Structure 1
Amino acid sequence: MKKKIISGITALALLTGGVVGVGSFESPVEAAQATLKFKDVPTTHWAAAAINSAVEQGYFKGYTDGTFKPSSPVTKAEMASILGRLTEQPNASSSASNNFTDVPEWAKGGVSAAIQKGFINPASYKGKLDAKAALKRGEMAVWLTQGLATVDSDYKQALSDVKNTVIPAKEYFTGKLAASEKNAVAVAMGTGLMSVYSDKMFGSDRTTTRAEVAVLIARYTSVAKTKPTDFKGLNELRQVGLTGTNLSLITNYFKKTPEGKILLPANRKYDEVVTDDFSKVRNKEIVTDTNYADLKVSNWIIIDTSVANKERSIYYPVFVDEGVKLQSGKYFSFVEFNLSIKSNSMSQLQAGGLLNSATFNPLVSPRSKVFSLYGAPKTGDYIKDRVFAVKNPVYWAEGLLHFKESTARPVTLETTEGEVFSVSYTP
């Protein structure tokens, strides 16, 4: 009888992950040996160090056959149990109770702890966690960033600030990123907690593996000890979310165009209409040089190709191929346009004539190889025989922002309501 009871416990451990992860009960000596080497985790494995560390800290256990199974998925119940054991994670100021009806007995304490520590919000579910299902990366991002918001209220503010940001992941550009996960994905990427795969997908619907969780736990503990403002990428995502541009984070050369150096609408005063706040003209109808189409600018991304890798814009991998460098005195300018074509047809060349600006140029989209991998909408998606085949194209276009005194001129956008955004190069 005793042998049968032990076998039953072992079976439960294998099915549910034992105390925390998936594995069997082992002696302390066996556990210590497992942290040094698993048959399926060679020293060259990309997550070997994180796996060994996670095992040493008790978040995971290996199998009795000497394997770790790094590619096996992690269930929600298992992940909740792991998060619930993060000792440095503070409790939420007000946490809900564990009212889930589908959590297995072995995981109830872990799920309750994860809720108490702010990782899981029961209000986001309808009484069921789907605890035995594999945890997907989108939901993982939500859990981890909710945890960060519990650690520091500025992370909570960051989750709000990125609501309207541009996320450097393919799902964002193709419209397949769930609204309920968008903010969390942005913060997870901005802090370096999570990133895209080689196919440029964040992989919201992909399951999370044991190896990935081992790495994420190590990253989370590091990020949780860091102020949100210390992450350049997150700062950039927040600014684009709030204003529509990253201009002031990429360069401090551009200030509001001085009075007397800009032509204003009739009977309007400089102090009343001129601004260097891009949010004032974002998504508003812009005055064009021609009457071919109504035009709005949703986002304006600046990239400096002269800086070192660690100083690059978080958007660099989306728009610019590795190794590309502009001539001194120029930045890349990438603009998301929203057009409403008035005539029966408008050519691509006529689109380029809507604005007399090298910086805001609706003529062509980025021609980099990497841009095509992200699946972002471009002029070619709407052009047939050099004419727009749709009435309301939304796409990204490429221009240049000059910051040499000999070539720079004010960058100006005027809304049909009379507001004027204008910045000039200031050495």
Structure 2
Amino acid sequence: MKKMILTGVAALALLTGGVIGSGSIGGSVEAAQATLKFKDVPSTHWAAAAINSAVEQGFFQGYADGTFKPGSPVTKAEMASILGRLTDQPNAAIQEANNFTDVPEWAKSGVSAAIAKGFISPANYNGKLDAKASLTRGEMATWLAQGLSVVDSDYKQALSDVTNTVIPAKEYFTGKLAGSQKNAVAVALGTGLMSVANDKNFGTDRTTTRAEVAVLIARYASVAKTKPSDFKGLSELRQVGLTGTNLSIIAPKYKKTPERKISPNVDYSEVTDDFSKVRNKNIITDTNYADLKIKNWIIVNTFAKGAERSIYYPVFVDEGFTLLRGAYYSFAELELNVKSKTMTSLQAGSLLNSATINPMNSPRSDAFTLYGGPSINDVTKSRGVFTVNNPVYWSRGLLHFDKELISDVSLVAKEGPTYSVIATD
């Protein structure tokens, strides 16, 4: 193993703990340092390997009392210094000046380097970084996503594509995810760079700990070397953002319905398999109890395992549950304009004669409850009567592949386009 000679400043930092603020990254310390064990980081700690690796590379140091303090927060200045020293990160095409007035002297070069590499954009701040404040997970996601957009222009495109997507985090479903951080959180989740906590919140306002940063350093290096298109989750998020559905990724056998299978009353020149053409449009309904729009349509294959699973699987489906006869779940986010004060959930179900998009039922999984997704029960009272005129909630249906069952999905927008797809061989 190659040895790295520590300067007096670096050696002092190793004793006092914290983040090394100068020097190059990429080499290793001596073998004894590489296998450094901290008394507060047992081998069973979830981030033990990442912490030891981060210390080995010189990103972090332990404290004089033999601890690492994995749960301690990291300041913005500290994180900027770490990001500024990622040697594989290219410089941004457009260089912004470091005009922050509150950065301590020891961190100025590190912050400038992080800006040069595209992680931090001073234009998003009002002259002050609040450098000594603890870095939140939301801001961390923003910095890392901006860094990825410098590495590969397709990551920059992905940041744009997910603007209108459905994000698998509780804050999204409860309306508490800030618009300024939404896109970055989507990219962080879609690449596996970051994840939700046990309570299903991304935790945008939670501070970023030393242990988390140690893990993120390694993850970022891995993600930066991977093409955005290689992340299935990110591809889903982009597809939903652009079209309103992940159908083509999860159920690619569903194609545009052939003309011979379309009702003769439908002008086939108006038929499309582009869901964006009917997304958020008024759909022609079978009954007149309410106007109906479909905001998003999510498909989940309950039989998929591991990396083949939809990124939305944990949101809608409980672990271990599978459907019968090879069907997939169909979850549609609906917006209704109720025309009657006594409209019931049963009448809502009569709006569309479809087993795939059924306004009468909502997801019943424990997972969906944990994520805080709005269901029909949130907008109805006893006997299923709607309590609001413009409810928005998620419905539950089935996407069939069995030839003995009707598999086509057809939606006709009042504005004209007909969306129609069917399972193919």
TM-score calculated relative to the size of structure 2: 0.93
Q: Which residue in the other structure is 2:89 paired with?
A: 89
* CA drift at 1:327: 1.1
Structure 1 residues 28-427: aligned runs within 5 Å: 32-33=32-33, 35-263=35-263, 269-271=267-269, 273-385=270-382, 386-427=384-425
- Measure the CA separation in 2 of the matches of 1:20 and 1:389: 61
Kept in 1, the 8 Å contact 2:399–2:407? The answer is: no
- Measure the CA separation in 2 of the matches of 1:130 and 1:206: 16
How much is the aligned-residue C-alpha RMSD, in angstroms? 2.1
Q: State the secondary structure of the residue aligned to 1:422.
A: strand
Kept in 2, the 8 Å contact 1:287–1:414? The answer is: yes
Q: State the one-letter code of the partner of 1:42.
A: P
- Measure the CA separation in 1 of the matches of 2:141 and 2:416: 41
Most deviating of 320-329 and 115-124: 320-329
- Runs of at least 4 residues of structure 1 off by over 6 A? none
Q: State the one-letter code of the partner of 1:401.
A: L
* CA drift at 1:422: 0.3
Q: State the secondary structure of the residue aligned to 1:260.
A: helix
Kept in 2, the 8 Å contact 1:20–1:78? The answer is: no
- Measure the CA separation in 2 of the matches of 1:212 and 1:372: 27
* CA drift at 1:344: 2.1
Q: Which residue in the other structure is 1:24 paired with?
A: none
Change (3 A) 1:300 1:308: same
* CA drift at 1:244: 0.5
- Measure the CA separation in 1 of the matches of 2:62 and 2:35: 8
Q: State the one-letter code of the partner of 2:139.
A: E
Q: State the one-letter code of the partner of 1:415.
A: A
Q: State the one-letter code of the partner of 1:85.
A: R
Kept in 2, the 8 Å contact 1:75–1:133? The answer is: yes
Change (3 A) 1:264 1:336: farther
For structure 1, the 5+ residue unaligned runs are 1-5, 22-27
1:353-384 per-position Cα deviation (integer Å, ceiling 9, x unaligned): 11000001000110011110000111011111
Matched pairs, number: 411
* CA drift at 1:418: 1.6
Kept in 2, the 8 Å contact 1:34–1:62? The answer is: no
- Measure the CA separation in 1 of the matches of 2:255 and 2:325: 20
1:135-154 per-position Cα deviation (integer Å, ceiling 9, x unaligned): 00000000001000000000
* CA drift at 1:33: 3.8
Q: State the secondary structure of the residue aligned to 1:98.
A: coil
Q: State the one-letter code of the partner of 2:131.
A: A
Q: State the one-letter code of the partner of 2:404.
A: S
- Measure the CA separation in 2 of the matches of 1:203 and 1:222: 23
- Measure the CA separation in 2 of the matches of 1:19 and 1:244: 45
Q: State the one-letter code of the partner of 1:19.
A: G
Q: State the one-letter code of the partner of 2:422.
A: S
Kept in 2, the 8 Å contact 1:20–1:60? The answer is: no
Q: State the one-letter code of the partner of 1:219.
A: R
* CA drift at 1:404: 0.9
- Measure the CA separation in 2 of the matches of 1:378 and 1:409: 25
Change (3 A) 1:33 1:424: closer
* CA drift at 1:426: 1.0
Kept in 2, the 8 Å contact 1:74–1:208? The answer is: yes
1:84-107 per-position Cα deviation (integer Å, ceiling 9, x unaligned): 000000000111010000000000
- Measure the CA separation in 1 of the matches of 2:179 and 2:354: 34
- Measure the CA separation in 2 of the matches of 1:405 and 1:230: 32
* CA drift at 1:32: 4.5
Q: State the secondary structure of the residue aligned to 1:36.
A: coil
Q: State the one-letter code of the partner of 1:424.
A: I
Q: State the one-letter code of the partner of 1:399.
A: G
* CA drift at 1:34: 7.5
Kept in 2, the 8 Å contact 1:297–1:335? The answer is: yes
1:149-208 per-position Cα deviation (integer Å, ceiling 9, x unaligned): 000000000000000000000000000000000000000000000000111010000000
Q: State the one-letter code of the partner of 2:145.
A: T
